[in-house]
Homo-oligomer: A and B are copies of this chain.
Amino acid sequence: MSSVDLLNKTAELVAVASESFSEAQITEHIQNELQAHQHLELTRIGDNLVARTQLGRANRVILAGHTDTVPANGNAQPRIEGDHLWGVGSADMKGGLAVMLKLAEQHTQPAVDVTYVFYAREEVASEHSGLGELFDQRPDLLEGDVALLGEPTDGQIEAGCQGAMRFSITLKGKRAHTARAWMGSNAIHRLAGLLTAIDAYVPRQPVLLGCHFHEALQVVRVSGGVAGNVVPDSAQIELAHRFAPDRSADQAEQHVRDLLLPYLGDDDEVELLDLSPAAYPAVEHPCITSLIERHDLGVRAKLGWTDVARFAEHGVPAVNFGPGDSALAHTPQEHLVGESIRRTYSALDDLLRIGP
């Protein structure tokens, strides 16, 4: 498949606006394209579309990608210049969708069974995820040996992902007039010890199956105060923790709670606001190993959270592998280079032809 073909296909997808929650049109577009193909079994669930081969192969590979984009920023219209395609979603991740569509059309008799998953609402809060909706309603559609997500990794393997959790921590004090401050207890002052401990925290950087992770513990919000002449009786921080996949979510939560404990009194409160589990790097799965070895792919840890964790949570080892530069995603400069999408297509084409 030539770079030109692949960039053109991506441009076609970029031209269909598909901001999160407005994805009916892009899903129609993909469905119209795929339903001509007899080798694919299509299932539409809401704005999600699953296309599967049913050839009874020994392995089933899932190729998955989200259809939504962030709002355009002067880059709603695709524009090809030489080997570059400019436009919102060109990297994140309509390039990945274009690769999936081309593979789905080309491979009528792949060496592995393939499930192509086009899902909605990835760029918004986790609770809205179309992939979550699919796992809830039709988990059978998502069964497979390994999953590859087309998130932009510039054709390298980004393996596993760190988990994420956020806590709300409320410290209590006693209200008083500032003219008689010693009658009260300043809850904002009580943050001093807690913030000092968090600031001094040295995050772990474990290397797991060759992937270098880097944890984080960061206060992302702080608030407190009653009025300009009142000693405040409450102060709140929101604490974000990213943890490597050698810890379970429970272990990571306990680790943070242990760290907080010395700074908490009886009336203080710690609440877990949300939690996304980590995923261990799936680089030992034969399909992934073959992909890496045959194409000499770089392998690195995924530090941000992606839907590989959702697959891993359901027992399907998963990695990120797609065209485009993630650093450009969500920027007005978002673009895709032909060489990047060609290399990605070529590696997956090879996997589907030969198998693991």
Contact = CB atoms under 8 A, between A and B. Distances in A.
Given A195-B189, A223-B223, A228 B240 contact: yes
A36 interface: no
Contact of A188 (B216, B219, B232): B219
Interface string A226-248: 11111110010110101000000
B216 A221 contact: no
A191 interface: yes
A224 B221 contact: yes
Contacts of A235: 222
Interface in A169-211: 177-182, 186, 188-193, 195-196, 198-199, 203
Interface of A: 162, 164, 166, 177-182, 186, 188-193, 195-196, 198-199, 203, 214, 216, 218-232, 235, 237-238, 240, 242, 273, 303-305
15 contacts: A164-B229, A180-B303, A186-B219, A188-B219, A188-B221, A189-B195, A189-B218, A190-B199, A191-B191, A192-B192, A192-B195, A192-B196, A221-B225, A221-B232, A223-B223
B223 A229 contact: no
A303 B166 CA distance: 42
Nearest to A227: B220
Given A179-B305, A186-B199, A191 B228 contact: no
A219 B162 contact: no
A188 B222 contact: yes
A274 to B, nearest CB: 8
| Nearest 10 interchain pairs by C-beta | A221-B225, A192-B195, A179-B304, A181-B216, A189-B199, A192-B196, A188-B219, A179-B303, A192-B199, A222-B224
Nearest to A223: B223
B242 A178 contact: yes
A133 to B, nearest CB: 22
